[in-house]
Chains A and B, each alone.
Chain A
Amino acid sequence: MRPVYLDNNATTRVDPAVVEAMLPFFTEQFGNPSSIHSFGASVGASVKKARQQLQQLLGAEHDHEIIYTASGTEADNTAILSALEAMPGRDEIVTSAVEHPAVLSLCQHLEKTGRAKVHYIGVDSLGRLDIEAYRNALSEKVALVTLMWANNETGTLFPVEGLAELAKEHGALFHTDAVQAVGKVPIVLKGSAIDMLSLSGHKLHAPKGVGALYVKRGTRFKPLLRGGHQERGRRAGTENAPGIIGLGKAAELAIEHMVDEQTRVKELRDRLEKAILQRIPNCFVNGDPRERLPNTTNIAFEYVEGEAILLHLTRQGVAASSGSACTSGSLEPSHVMRAMNVPFTAAHGSIRFSLSRDNVPEDVDQVIEALPKILEKLRELSPFWAGANKDPNDFKPVYA
C-alpha cells in the first residue's frame, strides 16, 4: 500500500536540504555559540545567518527581533506571560474560543488562578471572529490580545493585521500564534501593528524541538526562562544550534516554495475537496472557504464518527486527522467545532486533510478512490443513517 501523508498540520517531513544543513553542527561544528574561541565563533555566525533567513520569511525589520525557543508552545507561553508581567496596571487578556491549546490552556489557567481576566471571543459558523465582541472587549485594562493567524483544525485565517491595529488603539500588546500560517501564507511584519508572533519549526519542514518568538523592537518584554545571557537575555539556555540552523534553512526554502504552496498545493487541496463533496452525500466543509490556508480542508461527514473513518483510511495507507473526541480520549468534539456550532450530527465526524509541497496528484487520487467506500460502509453500520436523508440534492447543512 502506497503511503499518503495528508497530516501536515500535525507535523511535516524534514526537508533533506534542512537535514544536510544541520549535520555539520552535530559533529565538526559542535562549539557553544556563546564561546569566544574559534569552535564557538563559527557556530555563532551560522546562528546569526539562520536568524536572518527567518527574518526574511517573516518580513521583520531586524534580525534581533527573533528569539529562538524550543517550541511554538514555549513561544506562546512566553508572549502571554511576558505581557501580563510587563504591562503595569493591565490584567486582562483578549483571545478567541478557537485558539490552540498552547494559548487556551494557559489562559484558562491564568483565569483560574486569578492572575488575569480573560475574554474569549466567539466565532460564527464559518469560524470567523466576532469583530463586534472583539471591539467591545478591548479597553485600557487589556494587557494582551492573542489571536491565531490560522486555525490548525480548519485553516481559517483571522485578519490579524487589522485586529492588531484595533488593539493598538487601546494601548494593548498584540500577539499572534502563527504556527500554522508561517511558510504557508506571505507575512510582512515590518510596519504592521503586530508586536509578537509565535512559530514552530516542525510545521515548516524543520525538525521538532525548535521554534521562535518574534518580538518587535521596542516592545515591553519579560523573559520566561532566566539564566544565561543567550538571545540578548530574553531566553536563557544554550542555543539549540543544529535546530536553529535547520529552521533557518527551512525558512529559506519556505520563501522559495511560497508560490508553489499558494498555487499547486492549493489546487490539489481544492481538487480533493471538490471530489469528496461530489462523491459523498451528507458532508460539508468546516471553516471559511475563502479566507483559508491553501493546504487545509476540514470536512464533516454526517452520522459517522471520525476515528472510525481514520482507522479505515490508515488501512488504505492514508494519514489524516480528526478533531473527533475519540482520538483524543475525551468525549466531547473539539472546542473549535463546538465554537463554530457545527451541527451535532456531524461534529464527531470531522476529518482534516492537510497537504504540503511534498504531496503529488496521486496522493489525492488515492483518497478520492478510498473514501466513498469507507463512508458507505460505516454509514451502513450507523443507527442514524437509515433515518437520514440520503438524497444529496436535498441535503442542506444547518449552517452552510
Chain B
Amino acid sequence: MWDYSEKVKDYFFNPKNAGVLGEANAVGEVGAISCGDALKLMLKVDSETEVIHDARFQTFGCGSAIASSSALTELIIGKTLGEAVSITNQDIADFLGGLPPEKMHCSVMGYEALQAAIANFRGEEWRDDHEERALLCKCFGVDEGMIERAIRMNKLTSIEQITDYTKAGGGCLTCFDRLEDLLAKVNSELVAEGFLAEHEAYRIGVASAADIKAKAKARKETEDAAPAPASPLAPTSPLPPPSAGMTNLKKIRLIEEAIEELRPYLKKDGGDCELVDVDGNNVMVNLKGACMGCQMASVTISGIQERLIAKLGVPIRIVPVKSNAH
C-alpha cells in the first residue's frame, strides 16, 4: 500500500467539504470515470468581491485523489479568485504533507479543476490538454503530446532540456526510456523536415555518451582556467577563487547579466530570481514566485549556477536566501 502521510489519510477518511453545493456559481469538472479518477469542484463566489465563500467537491478516485480534492477546498475557501488562481498542484501536495511521486497527478487534478472552475465563473472555456495522449511523466502529470510540442517548438535535443521546459522527468525519471524514445523520434523528424542539423539530433546511446564527454571536457577546462593562488576574499571557500584581475563590481555585473538572460525562462514557469549579495564565490539569490518551495528549485539553482560558471569562467556557488534577510 502507498506510503501516505497522516494528513492524507485524515483527509481521505474524514474529507472536509465533500458533497454537492446547491448554490454553486462556478463549477469545474475534470477527469473521467474511464481514466480512473474524476473531480467535480463546486464554488460559491461573491460576484462583487470574487471571494470564494464556499467550496465543495465530489471525487471518484483513489485515496490521494479524494484527499487532494478536500485539501483544495480548504486552501481556497476565503480567498479571492485572483489569489486562488495562483495555487499550484505543489501547494496542494504540500498542504497534505507531500504525496508519493506516483500520486502527484492527483494534485494536478485538483489544480486543473480549480482552473476549470475559475474559467467557468468567468464564462471562459478551460481546455484540458493532459488527456490528449498517454501520460508519460507521472510525477508531474505531463503527457506525450505536451512533451512533443515542447521538443518541436524549442528544438530540444536533451533530456535535461525536456525537464526544464516541461518538468517531465524531473521526479523519479522512471520514464527515462520513454522520454529518450520520444526525443529521438521527434528529433529525427525535425532532421527530416530540415529544422535540425543531423549532428545536433539526439541519438539514443550516442548522444548521451557525447554529452558526458562534453561535460567532462567543460569541467576540465573550468578547472584549468582557475588560477592556483588563494584570494583573501574567499578564505574558507573550498572552491578555487575568482580569476585574477576581475573586480567585484565587474563580477557582480556579469552575474546580473547572467540572471537577466535566465529570467525569461524562470518567468515562463511563474518564477523569478533576484541577486541579493555576493560574498567571494558565494552568490546569494532570492528565488521568487513559483520557484519558491517548488521541488524543482534545486534544479533551477543548479541551472543558474551552471550559467554563471560558464559566464564568469570561475566556480561559483549559488546560495538561496530570503530577501528580507538583507
A38 is an interface residue with CB less than 8 A from chain B:
no
Interchain CA distance A344-B35 in the complex, whole Å: 9
A308 is an interface residue with CB less than 8 A from chain B:
yes
A380 is an interface residue with CB less than 8 A from chain B:
yes
B37 is an interface residue with CB less than 8 A from chain A:
yes
State which of B15, B33, B62, B135 has its C-beta within 8 Å of the C-beta of A384.
B33
Q: Do B39 and A383 touch across chains, with their CB atoms under 8 A apart?
A: yes
Q: How many residues of B contact A (CB 8 A)?
A: 30
Q: Do B59 and A310 touch across chains, with their CB atoms under 8 A apart?
A: no
Q: Do A381 and B36 touch across chains, with their CB atoms under 8 A apart?
A: no
Contacts of B40 in A (CB 8 A): 383
Interchain CA distance A382-B20 in the complex, whole Å: 10
- Which of A303, A315, A327, A348 lies at the interface centre, i.e. has the most chain B CB atoms within 10 A of its CB? A348
State which of B1, B65, B102 has its C-beta within 8 Å of the C-beta of A305.
B65
Q: Do A311 and B12 touch across chains, with their CB atoms under 8 A apart?
A: yes
Contacts of B9 in A (CB 8 A): 311
Q: Do B1 and A381 touch across chains, with their CB atoms under 8 A apart?
A: no
State which of B19, B33, B36, B59 has its C-beta within 8 Å of the C-beta of A326.
B36
Interchain CA distance A386-B42 in the complex, whole Å: 15
A400 is an interface residue with CB less than 8 A from chain B:
no
Contacts of B15 in A (CB 8 A): 381
Q: Do B20 and A386 touch across chains, with their CB atoms under 8 A apart?
A: yes
Q: Do B34 and A344 touch across chains, with their CB atoms under 8 A apart?
A: yes
Q: Do B58 and A382 touch across chains, with their CB atoms under 8 A apart?
A: yes
Interchain CA distance A304-B33 in the complex, whole Å: 9
Q: Is the interface of B mostly helix, strand, loop or mixed?
A: mixed
A331 is an interface residue with CB less than 8 A from chain B:
yes
B38 is an interface residue with CB less than 8 A from chain A:
yes
- From 329 to 387 in chain A, residues with beta carbon under 8 angstroms from any chain B beta carbon are 329, 331-333, 344-345, 348, 380-384, 386
Q: Do A348 and B33 touch across chains, with their CB atoms under 8 A apart?
A: yes
- Nearest opposing residue in chain A for B19, CB measure: A380
A307 is an interface residue with CB less than 8 A from chain B:
yes
A41 is an interface residue with CB less than 8 A from chain B:
no
Interchain CA distance A306-B39 in the complex, whole Å: 16
- Nearest opposing residue in chain B for A333, CB measure: B36
Q: Do B36 and A308 touch across chains, with their CB atoms under 8 A apart?
A: no
Interface size on A, as a range, is: 20 to 34
Q: Do A305 and B13 touch across chains, with their CB atoms under 8 A apart?
A: no
Contacts of B58 in A (CB 8 A): 381-383
State which of B36, B39, B102 has its C-beta within 8 Å of the C-beta of A324.
B36
Q: Do A381 and B20 touch across chains, with their CB atoms under 8 A apart?
A: no
Q: Do A307 and B59 touch across chains, with their CB atoms under 8 A apart?
A: no
Q: Do A315 and B13 touch across chains, with their CB atoms under 8 A apart?
A: yes
Interchain CA distance A314-B138 in the complex, whole Å: 26
Contacts of A332 in B (CB 8 A): 36
- Which of B15, B33, B105 lies at the interface centre, i.e. has the most chain A CB atoms within 10 A of its CB? B33
- Which of A308, A312, A315, A329 lies at the interface centre, i.e. has the most chain B CB atoms within 10 A of its CB? A308
Apart from the given pairs A308-B62, A326-B65, A331-B135, 5 other A-B contacts in the complex at a CB distance below 8 Å: A305-B62, A308-B61, A380-B18, A381-B60, A384-B60
List 4 tightest A-B contacts by C-beta distance, closest first. Answer: A326-B62, A383-B58, A307-B62, A383-B40
28 A-B contacts (beta carbon < 8 Å):
A303-B60, A305-B36, A305-B62, A306-B62, A307-B2, A307-B62, A308-B12, A308-B65, A308-B66, A311-B13, A314-B1, A326-B36, A326-B62, A327-B62, A331-B135, A332-B36, A345-B33, A380-B19, A381-B18, A381-B19, A381-B58, A381-B59, A383-B29, A383-B38, A383-B40, A384-B33, A384-B38, A386-B20
Interface residues of chain A, those whose CB is within 8 Å of chain B, are 303-308, 310-312, 314-315, 324-327, 329, 331-333, 344-345, 348, 380-384, 386
Interface residues of chain B, those whose CB is within 8 Å of chain A, are 1-2, 9, 12-13, 15, 18-20, 29, 33-40, 58-63, 65-66, 102, 105, 135, 138
